[in-house]
Structure 1
Amino acid sequence: MITVTGATGNLGSATLAVLLDTVPAAELTAVVRDPAKAADLAARGVTVRQGDYDDPASLRAAFAGTDTLLLISSPDVTPGVRPRQHGNAIDAAKAAGVGRIVYTSAIGADDAQGFLADHTATEALLRESGVAWTALRNTFYLHFLVNPGLAAAVEAGELTAADGGQPVNFASVPDLAAAAAAAVTTEGLENTVHELRGPVFTLPELAETLTAVSGRPVAYRAVPAAEFGQGAFMWDLISSGLFAEPSTDLDKLLGRPATSLREAVTAALA
């Protein structure tokens, strides 16, 4: 049995969609806080169980009979919350006799800072648990930068960014979901770390790709991060160089090249 937590979230639902193409629905369990929101999964034959990261008893019941658990990280970035919630899930998995935990960690988790340090703490809990584990250190989602909103940049003829001259290795949710599905269905990945990063590109290259795909000139212009308001934190992370390093781990799990910048831009503008 493969069990997926956060099954109605962005990554969880995408991963289950991939798994349903190759794994019988009867061998899949979706764990959600509100089972009513997973009615579509239940209709396809997936077992739906209620489970809450803040309710250890519910997790132990939800994980019963699980061979491999895909533990999708909690969306709550309040300081101290995620390590506690993830600890509850890891303890419950151990109590339920889960064979392996595949955890959606984050880029830089070997020694992360700020809110990403929650993943460093969770990986430490996994290593100490005695349960076999696999860490998927996901980069940030490509749709933060490549999305239908780019049509406005094409219309204006200008792409503004506060990248500090640093490239990014963001990856698409479908690619990260397919990698997660591969990780839970592939043997021999016990106690391994995978740096899941997309093809590296710069923001000037994004402007050039917008020009090529749209057929209209789009210039790149650097601006201060403060111009992006609440989104400034993302640009601060980018300009720190956090996303500058490449990795082929995503391609290896996918068994194919990850989605290219041109493919992503073409889809976004469509």
Structure 2
Amino acid sequence: MLADIMIVICAASGALGRLVLRELVGRDQPVVAAVRNPDRLVDLPGVEVRRGDYDDPAGLRSALRGADRVLLISSPELDHERRVTQHRAVIDAAVATGVRAIAYTSFLGADRDEPGMNAAHHETEQAIAASGLAHTILRHPFYTDAFVNPGLRAAVDSGVLVSATGGRGLNTALRADLAAAAATVLTDDAHLGRAYDLTGPVWTYPQLAEALTALTGRPVEHRDAAVTGPMGFLMSLARAGALERQTDDLRTLLGRPPTPLRDVVAQAI
């Protein structure tokens, strides 16, 4: 624990940011929340709140003033150029204000220079490396929360859980576990200069159906069928075997196994 440092969490009003804030407060770590709209964080006592908008470079310099280290939570912006510009604004502000170290929430595979959804993450990783800042890269998988949530009650009610994964595995991780890993990285110099590829335990939709059955006492059958929209895209990646990679990095940072599927399902329903 680095008790005498100031940590700033950027984009702290989002779901991940709030969890990181709570982790750090729970560890008695002084922390600042940099957010676009400070009014959104009135429910987090013990956290200093500053205005820090990714589209306002001057405001970011004010938000980061006095910080020893910063967590750059990646922007949800879909446009590649704007997203990279926003990330660079945080990096430049960190350099200008004398921040000693930065951590970035990247994505699995962003170490490769390839077109597609990871291109902005790769460019951001390169910008951080070129900045001269000490840094840690946290490459996230997809969130388990996107798949396992209270919406599963509909499957329990109908007795049918549908997916288009072909029964292939998903290496998702719970957002809360990733937040705990980020808090660990931010409070220990041992992680500087490292890049972590974070994965949770691989699970399948048939296993999810089994967990729903066991936890509710109501039979839930898995059926493979077409799924459209964003979830259909994610399931197509799983069906192609693209989400089955495993590493021990998340377990290492947590100091325990990532939360197992059954426990996530129990919390969700």
The answer to whether the superposition gives a TM-score over 0.5 is: yes
Aligned pairs for 1:195-234 within 5 A: 195-224=197-226, 227-234=227-234
2:200, 2:230 → 1: CA distance? 25
Residues 1:268 and 2:268 aligned together:
yes
1:141 pairs with one of 134, 140, 143: 143
Residues 1:116 and 2:121 aligned together:
no
Contact between 2:80 and 2:119, CA under 8 Å: does it hold in 1?
no
Measure how far apart 1:146 and its partner are.
0.8
2:91, 2:167 → 1: CA distance? 39
- The 1:113–1:208 alpha-carbon spacing in structure 2 relative to 1, beyond 3 Å, is farther
| Equivalent residue number for residue 42 of structure 2 | 39
Measure how far apart 1:54 and its partner are.
1.3
| Equivalent residue number for residue 103 of structure 1 | 104
Contact between 1:166 and 1:238, CA under 8 Å: does it hold in 2?
yes
TM-score, length-scaled by structure 2: 0.93
Contact between 2:25 and 2:46, CA under 8 Å: does it hold in 1?
no
- The 1:87–1:240 alpha-carbon spacing in structure 2 relative to 1, beyond 3 Å, is farther
Q: Which amino acid letter does the alignment assign opposite residue 191 of structure 2? A: L
1:237, 1:118 → 2: CA distance? 19
Contact between 1:169 and 1:201, CA under 8 Å: does it hold in 2?
yes
Contact between 1:108 and 1:242, CA under 8 Å: does it hold in 2?
no
Measure how far apart 1:230 and its partner are.
4.3
| Equivalent residue number for residue 243 of structure 1 | 243
Please, what is the CA RMSD of the aligned residues? 1.5
Residues 1:66 and 2:67 aligned together:
yes
Residues 1:19 and 2:24 aligned together:
yes
Residues 1:29 and 2:32 aligned together:
yes
Which shifted more, 212-221 or 15-24? 212-221
Measure how far apart 1:209 and its partner are.
1.8
Measure how far apart 1:88 and its partner are.
1.1
TM-score, length-scaled by structure 1: 0.92
Measure how far apart 1:253 and its partner are.
0.8
SS in 1 for 2:142: coil
Q: Deviations over 1:13-68 (max 9, x none)?
A: 111011101124xx211101111222233xx2322111111111111111111111
Measure how far apart 1:131 and its partner are.
0.5
Contact between 2:8 and 2:69, CA under 8 Å: does it hold in 1?
yes
Q: Which amino acid letter does the alignment assign opposite residue 229 of structure 1? A: G
Q: Deviations over 1:67-122 (max 9, x none)?
A: 11011111111232211110111111011111110101112212254222211111
| Equivalent residue number for residue 13 of structure 2 | 8
Contact between 1:33 and 1:50, CA under 8 Å: does it hold in 2?
yes
Runs of 5+ in structure 1 lacking a partner? none
Between the two proteins, the alignment pairs up a number of residues equal to 263
Aligned pairs for 1:154-165 within 5 A: 154-165=156-167
Which shifted more, 257-266 or 236-245? 236-245
2:173 pairs with one of 162, 171, 174: 171
- The 1:113–1:266 alpha-carbon spacing in structure 2 relative to 1, beyond 3 Å, is farther
